[in-house]
């Protein structure tokens, strides 16, 4: 029972264009969402997060959008750079339940071509 | 730099031979986690420590144990590794705030191979 789904295993974009990575969740109790980036041979590194009281959070080139009614969030990277090539994981938490547990998606491999 | 360190980065063990993976942190975080990640799968939480309190996930096999002798160190013990336990093992830490907005910081992982 996959509660966090990243349905695109991979995405390829040209340098300078927008990258849009999508994530869907099924548990309506999730109220805090995070995106992690993972390079090969490294652990995931935190990128950006959003609380369910917001619908948008922006940090430089990275913006996360949350659509609670659709149980969908997306990560926008503008402009995309070759160094952004990595696996991106979406993660979700139910803050009212266990404050600790993150539920991850399977990840999307982003390739940014020069 | 404050960080999460995992040793070894690569571990090869034989079927049934106990193995221990280690994690240390310089972040002084009170929560430490162990995740298992198999190829093309989502990281799966095995258990976590909140200070000295151990919290096991319901579906974590008994074959997996953990120790946290102090704030900085946490160990993952696999008592009798099977071929299905070959995976990347990720350690993470966080500082519990009570607000539900804690960020988890990950180590580089240990790749376990079972022969």
Indicate yes or no: CB of A106 within 8 angstroms of CB of B40.
yes
Please answer whether residues B99 and B46 qualify as being in contact, where contact means their C-beta atoms are separated by less than 8 angstroms. no
Whole-number Cα distances in Å, B37 to A23, B23, B49, B81: 19, 16, 19, 15
B1: confidence class by pLDDT, cuts 50, 70, 90:
low
Residues of chain B neighbouring A32 (CB-CB closer than 8 A): 100-101
Q: How far apart are CA B1 and CA B3, in angstroms?
A: 6
Helix and strand totals (H; E) in chain B: 0, 11
Distance, C-alpha A81 to centroid of its chain: 17
For B93, name the nearest residue in chain A, comparing CA atoms only. Answer: A100
Residues of chain B neighbouring A106 (CB-CB closer than 8 A): 40-42
Per-10-residue mean pLDDT for chain A, 114 residues long?
A: 91 97 95 94 92 95 97 98 97 78 94 96
Tens digits of per-residue pLDDT, B10-27? 999 999 999 999 999 999
Tens digits of per-residue pLDDT, A29-53? 999 999 999 998 889 999 999 999 9
Worst-scoring range by mean pLDDT, A92-101, B14-23, B46-55, B106-115?
A: A92-101
Please answer whether residues A103 and A1 qualify as being in contact, where contact means their C-beta atoms are separated by less than 8 angstroms. no
Q: How many CB pairs under 8 A join A and B?
A: 63
Worst-scoring range by mean pLDDT, A9-18, B71-80, B91-100?
A: B91-100
Indicate yes or no: CB of A104 within 8 angstroms of CB of B102.
no
pLDDT at B8 over 90: yes
Could you say which of B48, B90, B100 has the minimum Cβ distance to residue A93? B100
Please answer whether residues A104 and A4 qualify as being in contact, where contact means their C-beta atoms are separated by less than 8 angstroms. yes
What per-residue confidence (pLDDT) applies to B34?
97
Give CA angle at B40 (A24, B76), nearest 5°.
105
Could you say which of B44, B55, B105 has the minimum Cβ distance to residue A46? B105
For A44, name the nearest residue in chain B, comparing CA atoms only. Answer: B106
């Amino acid at each position: 029972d996959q509660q966090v789904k990243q349905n695109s295993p991979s995405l390829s974009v040209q340098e300078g264009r927008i990258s849009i990575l999508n994530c869907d969740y099924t548990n309506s109790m999730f109220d805090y969402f995070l995106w992690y980036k993972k390079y090969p041979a490294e652990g995931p590194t935190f990128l950006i997060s959003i609380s369910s009281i917001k619908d948008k959070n922006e940090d430089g080139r990275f913006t996360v959008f949350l659509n609670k009614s659709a149980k969908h969030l997306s990560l926008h990277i503008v402009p995309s750079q070759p160094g952004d090539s990595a696996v991106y994981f979406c993660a979700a938490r139910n803050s009212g339940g266990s404050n600790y547990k993150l539920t991850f998606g399977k990840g999307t491999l982003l390739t940014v071509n020069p | 730099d404050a960080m999460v360190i995992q040793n070894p980065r690569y571990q090869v063990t034989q079927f049934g031979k106990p193995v221990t993976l280690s994690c240390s942190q310089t972040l002084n975080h009170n929560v430490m986690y162990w995740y298992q990640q198999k190829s093309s799968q989502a990281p799966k939480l095995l258990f976590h420590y909140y200070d000295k309190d151990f919290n096991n996930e319901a579906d974590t096999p008994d074959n997996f144990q953990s120790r946290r002798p102090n704030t900085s160190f946490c160990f993952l013990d696999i008592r009798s590794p099977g071929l299905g336990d070959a995976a990347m093992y990720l350690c993470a830490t966080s500082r519990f705030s009570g607000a539900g907005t804690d960020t988890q910081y990950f180590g580089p992982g240990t790749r376990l191979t079972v022969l």
